């Protein structure tokens, strides 16, 4: 009886302890995430109102490189560092948070092509890790705090708490859900979302004008689009990794690389004659889901993003993934017989799934962004994109244990017996 009472006490005390820790992380990340979102919003509006800010991009790149040099951190410091800190039970540099905040603001202000989620994950992970260190938590608990911080700030920034929870549970290791972090992630993400909602932050969401009926024909068309999105995911990851490696080998000096990247973005922007590929591109994503995109949009966004991030500018790849997937789906979907707006939504979710290897998070992303009207079709698209994208990933440090296709290995009995093969 004493043993039972001791176990019950242990469960309850652990549960209450993690509620308190998760709420602390969630509230802190909610406020920081809201502040960050407001700052990026100002950067975007100023860039649109003052077009000449684009010509300061090379100077912005030099400033970013100088900030990282001043804080004695490598310019390559990013999301992979968070993954490695969890795998190695090591600390996250405190400098990561202010560096990624300032450098992402500079990138968006001056017209670099990047997202926000990379900054969100780094900000949240750093805050969670440092809170754990301040409280002198054990290594495993500190790792959990890093993860829930990542999810909490992602939730606050995008207004997608369920996606945030499942993303941080899935993303670290392919095929392994970290169930031990479920309750802390849930509490922290919902707390951060609540704080951002109280501060009048609007969640990301889109309205689908047309949703096809579930039929064999529709399933085949969606499957065909998902196959193409899987190939697009592979290409996206390959281009991002190749461009980063290529630029570091050709221009080893951080300042020269930033300068060259800034000049290249300016020249490309003048060449294409539009600012649609600068910044995150939220307006273009919205147009694509409404059924309008140019055939070259997804290719040019990929090019702009690859140059921006490979040259040391900061932000993230997930919003560009949304952009590339949505515009690709909008253009290719009608060729397969799908509504352009609906196929843009499928393209966005399927490409995100292929790039991150997070099928469950991708399914919940479709629910939080587009509702449940076409849930069966989104599930099919995510399953196909996940399987056929192989081991392509945006993140070098994501654990990918199996080099084969992501298929379940089954032990098939031989003959009529019940023994294993």
Give tens-digit pLDDT for 278-296.
Answer: 999 999 999 999 999 999 9
Backbone angles phi, psi at 277, to 5 degrees: -100, 0
Return the pLDDT at 421.
29
Residue 126 burial (CB count, 10 A): 29
Q: Are the C-beta atoms of 127 and 321 separated by less than 8 Å?
A: no
Task: Please classify residue 213 by burial: count the beta carbons closer than 10 Å to its beta carbon, then call 0-12 exposed, 13-18 middle and 19+ buried.
Answer: exposed
Return the pLDDT at 405.
47
User: What average pLDDT does this structure show over 98-123?
Assistant: 92
CATH of domain 216-388: 1.10.3080.10
Return the pLDDT at 82.
81
Helix or strand or coil: residue 173?
strand
Rounded to 10°, the helix 182-198/2-49 angle is: 40
User: What average pLDDT does this structure show over 34-61?
Assistant: 96
pLDDT at 89 over 70: yes
pLDDT at 131 over 90: yes
Domain ranges of the chain: 2-198, 216-388
Q: Are the C-beta atoms of 101 and 122 separated by less than 8 Å?
A: no
Return the pLDDT at 46.
96
User: How open is the CA angle 373-374-376, to the nearest 5 degrees?
Assistant: 125
pTM of the model: 0.90
Looking at 83-92, 268-277, 356-365, 381-390, which range is the least confident one? 83-92
Task: Please classify residue 59 by burial: count the beta carbons closer than 10 Å to its beta carbon, then call 0-12 exposed, 13-18 middle and 19+ buried.
Answer: middle
Return the pLDDT at 87.
77
CA distance 120 to 329: 26
Task: Please classify residue 3 by burial: count the beta carbons closer than 10 Å to its beta carbon, then call 0-12 exposed, 13-18 middle and 19+ buried.
Answer: exposed
Helix or strand or coil: residue 137?
coil
CATH of domain 2-198: 1.10.3080.10
Return the pLDDT at 13.
84
Return the pLDDT at 173.
65
pLDDT at 351 over 80: yes
Residue 200 burial (CB count, 10 A): 7
- On the CB side of 196, CA atoms within 13 Å amount to 30
Confidence of residue 175 (pLDDT cuts 50, 70, 90): low
Confidence of residue 176 (pLDDT cuts 50, 70, 90): low
What is the average pLDDT score of the chain? Answer: 89
Q: Are the C-beta atoms of 348 and 298 separated by less than 8 Å?
A: no
CA distance 300 to 336: 23
Residue 90 Ramachandran class (φ > 0 left, ψ -120 to 50 alpha, else beta): beta
Q: Are the C-beta atoms of 280 and 315 separated by less than 8 Å?
A: yes
Q: How far apart are the first and last CA of the chain?
A: 46
Confidence of residue 123 (pLDDT cuts 50, 70, 90): very high
pLDDT at 259 over 50: yes
Confidence of residue 420 (pLDDT cuts 50, 70, 90): very low
Same CATH fold assignment for domains 2-198 and 216-388: yes
Residue 88 burial (CB count, 10 A): 10
Looking at 112-121, 276-285, 368-377, 409-418, which range is the least confident one? 409-418
Confidence of residue 202 (pLDDT cuts 50, 70, 90): confident
């Amino acid at each position: 009886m004493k043993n039972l009472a001791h176990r019950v006490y242990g469960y309850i005390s652990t549960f209450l302890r993690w509620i308190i820790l998760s709420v602390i992380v969630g509230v802190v990340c909610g406020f920081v995430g809201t502040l960050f979102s407001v700052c990026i919003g100002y950067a975007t509006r100023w860039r649109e109102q003052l077009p000449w800010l684009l010509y300061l991009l090379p100077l912005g790149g030099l400033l970013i490189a100088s900030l990282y040099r001043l804080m004695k951190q490598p310019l390559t410091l990013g999301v992979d560092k968070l993954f490695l800190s969890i795998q190695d039970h090591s600390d996250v540099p405190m400098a990561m948070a202010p560096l990624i905040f300032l450098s992402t603001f500079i990138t968006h202000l001056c017209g670099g092509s990047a997202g926000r989620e990379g900054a969100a994950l780094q900000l949240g992970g750093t805050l969670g890790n440092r809170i754990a260190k301040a409280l002198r938590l054990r290594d495993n608990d500190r790792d959990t705090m890093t993860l829930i911080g990542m999810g909490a700030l992602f939730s606050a920034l995008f207004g997608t708490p369920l996606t945030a929870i499942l993303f941080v549970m899935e993303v670290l290791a392919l095929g392994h859900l970290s169930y031990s972090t479920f309750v802390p992630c849930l509490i922290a993400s919902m707390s951060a979302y609540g704080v951002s909602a109280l501060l009048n932050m609007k969640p990301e969401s889109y309205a689908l004008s047309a949703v096809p009926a579930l039929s064999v024909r529709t399933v085949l068309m969606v499957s065909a689009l998902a196959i193409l999105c899987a190939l697009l995911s592979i290409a996206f990851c390959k281009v991002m990794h190749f461009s980063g490696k290529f630029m570091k080998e050709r221009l080893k000096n951080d300042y020269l690389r930033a300068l060259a990247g800034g000049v290249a973005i300016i020249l490309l922007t003048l060449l294409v004659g539009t600012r649609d590929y600068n910044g995150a591109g939220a307006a273009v994503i919205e147009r694509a889901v409404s059924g309008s995109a140019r055939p070259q949009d997804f290719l040019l966004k990929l090019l702009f993003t690859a140059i921006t991030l490979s040259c040391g500018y900061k932000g993230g790849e997930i919003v560009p993934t949304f952009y590339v997937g949505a515009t690709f789906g909008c253009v290719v979907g009608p060729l397969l017989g799908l509504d352009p707006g609906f196929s843009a939504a499928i393209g966005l979710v399927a490409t995100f799934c292929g790039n991150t290897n997070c099928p469950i998070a991708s399914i919940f992303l479709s629910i939080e962004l587009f509702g449940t009207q076409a849930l069966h079709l989104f599930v099919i698209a995510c399953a196909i994109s996940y399987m056929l994208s192989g081991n392509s990933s945006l993140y070098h440090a994501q654990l990918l244990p199996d080099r084969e296709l992501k298929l379940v290995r089954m032990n098939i009995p031989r003959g009529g017996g019940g023994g294993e093969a």
